[in-house]
Each structure stands twice: as structure tokens, then as C-alpha cells.
């Protein structure tokens, strides 16, 4: 759910800004790169998003051994929540 929330937030932001997408493969990375190209995200934002997207993909594919680290998942939750608050505030 954390990854889905992040993807939905990024997609809505891209749409609200009217940023064109250069890829037919829509997802977290595509939205993040479009926002970075438009000057809306920093290099550090991209690093964070890439990390969160990796964890999200492991969960989406049922690779539970790769997402079983509860402290890491909590960090992701806190990071995504902070990111969304910062970008909407």
C-alpha cells in the first residue's frame, strides 16, 4: 500500500502539472523521472523514490524474503509520508 500511495501521488502530480511522459511504461520511475526533468524533484528525491520503488516491486511480486525487514518497511512508510507532506505543503 505504501508503494501504491507513492505511485498515485506521483501520477496525480504529473497530471496536475501537465508534464508530458516520454515512456509508454507508466510507473513510479517514469513519473519520478518526468518530475525531475521538469525541475520538480531533486537528485536525492530520485534516490529515495528508486529505493522505495524497489521495495514496492519486491512486495508486488511476492518476494517476501526481500521485504521482511520490518524496520526498513517502517522507514519507507515514514519516508514516503514525509515526502508527500513536503511536496504538498
Residues 63, 48: Cα–Cα separation, whole Å: 20
CB 29 within 8 A of CB 54: no
Percent of the chain with pLDDT over 90: 72
pTM of this prediction exceeds 0.95: no
Residues 89, 35: Cα–Cα separation, whole Å: 17
2-28 average pLDDT score: 93
Residue 84 above 80 pLDDT? Answer: yes
Confidence of residue 89 (pLDDT cuts 50, 70, 90): confident
Amino acid at each position: 500500500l505504501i508503494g501504491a500511495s507513492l505511485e498515485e501521488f506521483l501520477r496525480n502530480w504529473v497530471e496536475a502539472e501537465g508534464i508530458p511522459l516520454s515512456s509508454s511504461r507508466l510507473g513510479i520511475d517514469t513519473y519520478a523521472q518526468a518530475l525531475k526533468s521538469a525541475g520538480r524533484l531533486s537528485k536525492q528525491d530520485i534516490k529515495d523514490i528508486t529505493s522505495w520503488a524497489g521495495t514496492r516491486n519486491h512486495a508486488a511480486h511476492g518476494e517476501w524474503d526481500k521485504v521482511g525487514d520490518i524496520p526498513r518497511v517502517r522507514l519507507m512508510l515514514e519516508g514516503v509520508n514525509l515526502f508527500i507532506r513536503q511536496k504538498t505543503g
